[in-house]
Structure formats: C-alpha cells, structure tokens
Structure 1
C-alpha cells in the first residue's frame, strides 16, 4: 500500500525474492534475499517426508513394526531405550524431525500407559532423541537447513554437538534408574478398581 506495489509484484517477490539496489553493499546484501523458490529444497523435503509418513501409517506398517519392537520392551528401561532408538532410526530413514517424533509417539503411547507412566515421559524421550539428533542427519530437513544456512556439513560439527549426543544417553539412563520417570496415579487407580471389580465378580 505505502510503496504502491501491485499485487502481482508482491507475489513475484514472495516467490522469487527481492533484489535491493540502495547503493550500500551491506544493506543490499541484507535485503536481497530469495523467496519461497530459494527454500524449495528444504520445503520439498518436508512435503515428501510427510507424504511418506502418511502412507506407511495408512497401510498399517507402523502396527507391524510396533508389534516386533514391543517384544524388547519388557522393562521400563528397555521401553525408553527402544523409543529413543526408534526416534533416531526414523530420523535417518524418514528424513524429517516431525515424523521422528510422531511415529514413535503413536507406536509406544499404549506401552507407556500400560507401565503406568505419565505421557510426559514419552514426550521427553522423543524430544531428547528425535528432535536433538535430527540436525545431525545431512539428508533430513533439519540437517539440510543447517548445511545450507551455515555452510557446514552436519558430520563436521557432530563431534562438538555435545547436547545432541549426551541427551539421548541421559534419557536412557533415567529410564533404567527410574529417576524423574513419574507414574500416572490415575491409571494406577483405574487398574486397581478393575482388579477389585474382577475379584468381586469372581466371588459372586
């Protein structure tokens, strides 16, 4: 409105970017940026990854995988370890941070409830493993963004990404020791009521 730009020019700039010619090199460098077109590499990665995730969920692949993995989740610690490894595996295979959180989250939600654990425990494990390791995978959306923005390959800064490497390990240690792993009292009460009702029925 104030620059008297046409709707067509606004759409073109939004898509292809803006070329500033103020005469000041620093200002022109700051303002001359690409639009949506310059970000299509990252955007297309996200779109493809989300489509892939939707397909494998719809054809029930997740349920089959979950059944196989649940064999190794007999204890609380093994459940946390399996969740963390699954999130990291999803980052490497599905190439998207969101899928590395959503897919294992849906797969293991019921297992956490069965072990009377609050779902915030599951959320923390997904954050520690799925979110923090995504930037270490070069072909994932986060790794691709870091590489194009910083000009540094993820494997180059990987040895120095202490938070990303240590957090998943600490999360697994918490799982085995039980430290900060809060129980869900409501689920425990419901289970106890079910047991009592079952006993009453058997006595009758």
Structure 2
C-alpha cells in the first residue's frame, strides 16, 4: 500500500470482503455487458466506471479523494516506462516498414521457411529475440509483425500465428535478465534475479517443449498447407520486390537493437536508437524523405502493393496506432491503483488466505491471485507486485523459499497478461498484430488458447505444488538474509510434518 500522512488516515476503515468485492464484481458485470451483449470490444469505459465505483467505496471507508488520487497516479507513474515502450514500438513499426526491415523479414521468411514448420519456427525465433531484448512487447511489435505477414503468405489463420508469436515472445520476457518483470518478481519477494530465473526452468522448459510439439503437429496436420500455393507466395514476394529494396543489410536496425540489449543498455534509448537507425536506412535504401519519416513515425506507414493481405499488414504503425492501447492501459492502471489504495485487493487476498492452510494451497493461491489481479486490474506490474508483497511473509513463516512465490507471480502475472484482451499485454498484442478484435473479428481471440506456453507454465507449476516437486525450502543463507534485513516472518505459523501449516492464516504486511 502507498504511504499516506497518518493524520489523514485516522478515520479510515478497512473494507470487509463484501464491500471489497463490490467494485470488482460490478466492473466485471459492466464489462461483460459491453463485450458480450453489445458485442463492442471497447473495455475503456467499463474500467473507468469501475474506477469511479472504487472511488465511491474509498470515500465510504473514510478516504479523501486526494488519497485515492495519489494511489491511482502512483501506479500509473510506476508503469510509465512501459507506456514509453509502447510509444517507441509504434514508431519502430512505422519506420521499420518504411526502411524495408519488416518487408525483408517477410520476404526471406517466405523463401526460407515452409508452412509445415512455420509455427514452431515462429515460436523459437520470438523466444530468442525476446530473450535478447528483454521485452515481449518489442518482440511482438517487430519480429512478431513480420511473422504475421509470413503466416498470411502461407494462408495460416492469424490466430495460430499470433498464438505462436505470443508463446515465444512472453517466454523470452519471462526468463530474460534484461526484462523488467523478471527483475520485479524477485525484487518484491526478496530473492535475486538469477536464482529466480533458474527456479523457473522446471516449468518453463516443459511448457515450451509441449508448445513446440503442438505447433509441429499443427503445422503438419491441422493447418491446410495446400492453401500456401506457390502462386500466392510468388505474388507477395513480387509485390515486396516491386515496392521495396530487399537486402539482408536492411536487418541492421534490428541487429543494432539486439546488440544494445545484449550490452544491457536501457530499453528506451535502445529502442529509440532502433527508430533512428531505421530512419537512416529508409532514407538511404528506400528514398524516404524526412517529412515522410516523421509522418510514418507518428501516423504509421501507408502503401498499396496490389496484394490485399500485404496492404492490411503493412499499413500500420506510428505513435497514433498505439493510442487505443495506451488509453486502455492508463485507465486499467488507474483502476488497479484505486483498488490497491482503498485496501480492496488486500481484503480479498486476506479473505482467501483464511481458507488456505498448506504450502500447496498457498502456492496455488499465489498463482491464481496474480491471474485474478491481471484480470481485474488489467496491469501485469500490479499483478506481480501486490501478491509478492502480500504473500512473502507467509512463505517465510512456513519455511519455504520465496523463490516459489517469485515463480508463481511471474507465471500468473507476466504469462497471463497477453491472454486477457483488456489487460495491458493483451491490448498491445491485439493492436500490434492487427488482430482486428475492435473491428468485430472476434474469432482472432482464438490466439488465447493457442498461446500454449503461456498458460501451460502456471498449470505445470500448480501441479508441482500439489506433488511437492520443485518446491524448495528456505536455505540457511536465506534465513540469515531475512534476519539481517530485519524482515518479519509471519507470526503464528508452524509447519507440520505433512507440510500443512497451523496457526494464524494471515500475516501482516
């Protein structure tokens, strides 16, 4: 919770479970009406209504509006770097299409890859790039966009390609030491980032292998490869050659961004360097003017190649194309901040913890809490930070390493974010990949179940918890560190021989 002047908080009450659930349930009802009754995929207003309802709950509890406002803007402020990444990715998409970087990726992809192995190759490529860059959003908006073009050339349904892209991109984000969420999870739970990454391997490796196998099977059996005719692919490559200079040298902007990421340069200047490099390449190789490049960076690239599939894919990008996503992210962040500030999220979590008495239960609840926070608040950062702060003392009191917790919130937070359409991650995926959900193409939401690696990982983690596998106990070094840091261990917990816990079910944070 955010710190507030104690004199302003004397008359503030803590919400009961029923009151804490009120803004959540009402928001979900309004959201459901908007999405399923009216068939309008614009979750902005339902989330704004939820924010207003939460504000009223806060006033009822004794908060002043200034207190609630501080909570809203605190969460928004913390997440502004991600909004900056969205703006830069929009610029990169427009400029890299103009430079020929994205068209070159599509061109060589259509020549080198075959439809049968495309989905598996797409997941692997996105995994490598995301691991190098440390950003799933940057990977989706650049390499992922090119892969959507290749998939269209092979006549593969958009949702299959998007599922493979999301699986790979968010896998890399999950285990990259350069990723913000990969650093946030251990930070809020009191572990180090490399131990955290190592402890995620037991769930990451199986989920990726299973996803890879499914994409291979789908490529050979489920997807109609006969649709990927030579004529169709030839038409696309011919159109690309006619409208762009195609050369391997045009991949230099992407190589530069990856190089800067490997050198551990901050993501925002690294991405901006990619924009500038793309602009220089566009002027040298494609003959683009300065004013044109400014337009592409702001409003997106426009072209008519004569091939409808390519036109719909290449006519995109720019800062303005991200405004729908950014506005949704800001409203969702404000809603999440209000829920946290008023104590509603904390009350719900504590109510859940009164029913949980064992490690397997706590681990399952930690994953589900991160998922639920993602679902309700629409913010992957809050879904990691809040459960991490709330549950860390519980794990310590039970004698289990908080590495279990950091893995749980990473999987429920990072990996579930792109699977929720109104979440920051899901909204970006839909916008960047051109899935057209806002235009009524709801069938493209099938990418959600097809992003196998994202939802398999937390499922495997929950199974491990039930079986007692890969669930490390706290080491002597960890216990000593907690003592040195003066971290309070949850009082009243006693771990019994069967792994159950007796005593007080809720620890003060």
TM-score normalised by the chain length of structure 1: 0.72
Q: Judging changes above 3 Å, is the alpha-carbon distance between structure 1 residues 188 and 102 closer, same or farther for their aligned structure 2 residues?
A: closer
Q: Which has the higher contact order (CA 8 A, sep 6+)?
A: 2
Quote the residue 1:183 is aligned against. 473
1:41 counterpart = 2:355: no
Tell me how far apart the structure 1 counterparts of residues 377 and 474 of structure 2 sit (CA, whole Å): 32
The match for 1:54 among 337, 361, 374 is: 337
Deviation at 1:39, TM superposition (A): 0.4
The answer on whether the counterparts of 1:135 and 1:142 sit within 8 Å (CA) in structure 2 is yes
Residue 121 (structure 1) aligned with residue 404 (structure 2): yes
Q: What's the offset of the Cα at 1:117? A: 2.1
2:446 corresponds to which of 145, 156, 160? 156
- C-alpha distance in 2, partners of 1:69/1:101? 17
In structure 1, runs of 5+ residues without a counterpart are 192-204
Per the alignment, residue 267 of structure 2 pairs with: none
Aligned 8 A contact 1:87 1:101 in 2: yes
User: What is the deviation of 1:31?
Assistant: 7.9
- Unaligned 5+ residue runs, structure 2? 1-279, 284-288, 436-441, 484-509
Within the candidate set 375, 391, 415, 1:92 is matched to 375
Q: Distance in 2 between matches of 1:14 and 1:159?
A: 33
| Match in the other structure for 2:387 | 104
2:366 matched residue in structure 1 = 83
Q: Match for residue 133 of structure 1? A: 416
Aligned-pair CA distance for 1:73: 2.4
Per-residue CA distance 1:71-120 (angstroms, 9 max, x = gap): 12211000011111112212221123222222222222221222222222
Deviations for 1:157-176, whole angstroms, at most 9, x for unmatched residues? Answer: 33333222322221112222
Classify 1:5/1:138 alpha carbon distance in 2 versus 1 (closer, same or farther; 3 Å). closer
Partner of 2:351: 68
* SS state at 1:72 partner: coil
Aligned length: 186
Q: Which residue of 1 aligns with 2:133?
A: none
Q: What TM-score do you get using the length of structure 2 for normalisation?
A: 0.32
Counterpart-to-counterpart distance in 1, 2:340 and 2:474: 28
- Give per-residue Cα distances to partners, 1:119-166, cap 9 Å, x unaligned: 221111112222222222222222222223152756413333322232
CA RMSD between the two structures? 3.2
Task: Give the alignment partner of residue 463 of structure 2, picking from 173, 187, 199.
Answer: 173
Distance 1:37 1:64, change over 3 A: same
Q: Distance in 1 between matches of 2:444 and 2:422?
A: 10
Which residue, 383, 403, 428 being the options, matches 1:145?
428
